[in-house]
Amino acid sequence: MNTDVSCFYIKKILNVCVCSQGEAVIHYNKLQADPKQGKSLDIVLKKVKHRLVENMSSGTADALGLSRAILCNDGLVKRLEELEKTAELYKGLMEHTKRLLRAFFELSQTHRAFGDVFSIIGVREPQAAASEAFVKFADAHRSIEKYGIQLLKTIKPMLHDLNTYLHKAIPDTKLTIRKYLDVKFEYLSYCLKVKEMDDEEYSSIAMGEPLYRVSTGNYEYRLVLRCRQEARARFAKMRKDVLEKIELLDQKHVQDIVFQLQRFVSGMSHYYDDCYAVLKEADVFPIEVDLSRTAFNYSSQSLSYTDEEEEEGGGGRGEGGGSNQVENGTAKLIDDE
């Protein structure tokens, strides 16, 4: 049977095949689809529309007659909001830890200053027992200062790990989710385009006026169908990748936050235990000191400096320079990320 049915609809083609007496041979033109041709300006505008609708409130969307159900019911979008909250949690935890470590650094420097003062008093104390007691108490404060520095070195990796999670892991996952949303909007745009073309075809059938694109092979419709199929495959793959990445990020969050808090609590516990032990051994009070009757009589004394005191002052300035170096190094331990 040789009958040209290029202008017929599918039902008419089936009727012709059923009514034929002999063998029916159907020739068709294979679709050579180029996805780039399917991504027209209309598809781009539909993607923009989906992005606008996603950021609208429910009341605004309803007033404009736009549906947000397919956008708002996506669980991955809600996971993106949860990531924002987790990022705020880590940011607050980092800032609080930094402030706490700076406070401990200042406290350790105070203990160091106490140790220096008690050491000078012990060196100048003529009584052997009192001198030994002051020196022992000074050594205890210097030990506490060392414990404070050790605490900073112990907790410093915690800040580094939190910073890595906050500025690398979370932004990478958020970027993946945004790529997923772009693929999703493209897929929804093709779905909407197919629906519009179907409605257009149904309307033309109802009015009895065949569409030109249908009578010429319906290439545009077939191209959009092919593009929708490819977009759906990309959408499914991207959604799977995002779900896996979020699952891994959640597991890392649960494990990492527990480990970091345990490290923090353990470091603080060791610090306080060491401070308690060294102060318990340095229980030297009360200390008996012999004072002359004029020890606190400052009215008739004049302020003068001997060569020895000037040398001691120079040594103190040297110690101050070393203290500044230690302070700068320890501050770098806290602030350097």
Establish if 232 belongs to a structural domain: yes
pLDDT at res. 67: 56
pLDDT at res. 64: 58
Q: Is 21 in the same domain as 41?
A: no
Q: What is the CATH number of the domain that holds 167?
A: 1.20.1270
Local confidence pLDDT in tens for the 337 residues of the chain: 444 444 445 667 777 777 777 777 776 666 666 667 677 777 778 777 777 777 666 666 566 555 554 555 567 777 878 888 888 988 898 899 889 889 989 999 999 998 999 888 888 877 788 888 888 888 999 999 999 999 988 888 888 888 888 888 888 888 888 888 888 888 888 888 888 888 888 888 888 777 777 777 777 888 888 888 888 999 899 989 888 888 888 888 888 888 888 988 999 999 999 999 988 888 777 777 766 665 566 655 444 444 444 445 444 444 455 555 555 555 565 665 5
Distance, in Å, from the CA atom of 258 to the CA atom of 318, rounded to the nearest integer, reads: 44
Q: What is the DSSP string of 112-129?
A: HHHHHHHHHHHHH-SSHH
Give the tokens for residue 105: 């650094």
pLDDT at res. 317: 46
Single-letter residue type at 249: L
Establish if 263 belongs to a structural domain: yes
Q: Is 7 in the same domain as 90?
A: no
Give the tokens for residue 225: 């169908």
Establish if 322 belongs to a structural domain: no
Contact assessment for residue 50 and residue 192, using Cβ atoms and an 8 Å cutoff: no
- Please name the residues in contact with 304: beta carbons below 8 A apart, sequence gap of 6 or more: none
What pTM was computed for the model?
Answer: 0.60
Nearest Cα neighbor of 165 from 268, 83, 247 is 83
**Among candidate residues 222, 241, 269, the one where a domain is terminated:** 269
pLDDT at res. 3: 44
Nearest Cα neighbor of 51 from 168, 153, 182, 148 is 182
Q: Is 11 in the same domain as 69?
A: no
Q: Is 19 in the same domain as 65?
A: no
Distance, in Å, from the CA atom of 20 to the CA atom of 24, rounded to the nearest integer, reads: 7
> With DSSP H G I counted as helix, E B as strand and the rest as coil, what are the percentages for the chain, rounded to 5?
80, 0, 20
**Cβ-based burial of 134 (10 A; exposed 0-12, middle 13-18, buried ≥19):** buried
Distance, in Å, from the CA atom of 26 to the CA atom of 22, rounded to the nearest integer, reads: 13
Contact assessment for residue 130 and residue 286, using Cβ atoms and an 8 Å cutoff: no
Q: Is 24 in the same domain as 165?
A: no
**Among candidate residues 224, 243, 269, the one where a domain is terminated:** 269
Q: Exposure string (b/e) for 140-166, b if CB count within 10 Å is 16 or more? A: bbbbbbebbbebbebbbebbeebeebb
Length of the chain: 337
Distance, in Å, from the CA atom of 109 to the CA atom of 92, rounded to the nearest integer, reads: 26
pLDDT at res. 226: 86
Contact assessment for residue 115 and residue 141, using Cβ atoms and an 8 Å cutoff: yes
Helical axes 41-54 vs 170-207, angle rounded to 10°: 120
Establish if 83 belongs to a structural domain: yes
Q: Is 168 in the same domain as 247?
A: yes
Contact assessment for residue 104 and residue 268, using Cβ atoms and an 8 Å cutoff: no
**Among candidate residues 269, 298, 332, the one where a domain is terminated:** 269
Q: Is 221 in the same domain as 74?
A: yes
Q: Is 180 in the same domain as 36?
A: yes
Sort residue 204 into left (φ over 0), alpha (ψ -120 to 50) or beta. alpha
pLDDT at res. 269: 92
Q: Is 56 in the same domain as 19?
A: no
Structural domains in the chain (count)? 2
- Residue 238 has φ and ψ, to the nearest 5°, of -65, -40
Q: Is 219 in the same domain as 264?
A: yes
Q: Looking at residue 38, what DSSP letter applies?
A: H
Establish if 102 belongs to a structural domain: no
Triad 109, 115, 116: Cα angle to 5°: 90
Establish if 304 belongs to a structural domain: no
Q: Is 22 in the same domain as 76?
A: no
Q: Is 90 in the same domain as 1?
A: no
Distance, in Å, from the CA atom of 25 to the CA atom of 7, rounded to the nearest integer, reads: 16
Establish if 49 belongs to a structural domain: yes
Establish if 183 belongs to a structural domain: yes
Boundaries of domain holding 169: 32-96+156-269
Distance, in Å, from the CA atom of 218 to the CA atom of 211, rounded to the nearest integer, reads: 9
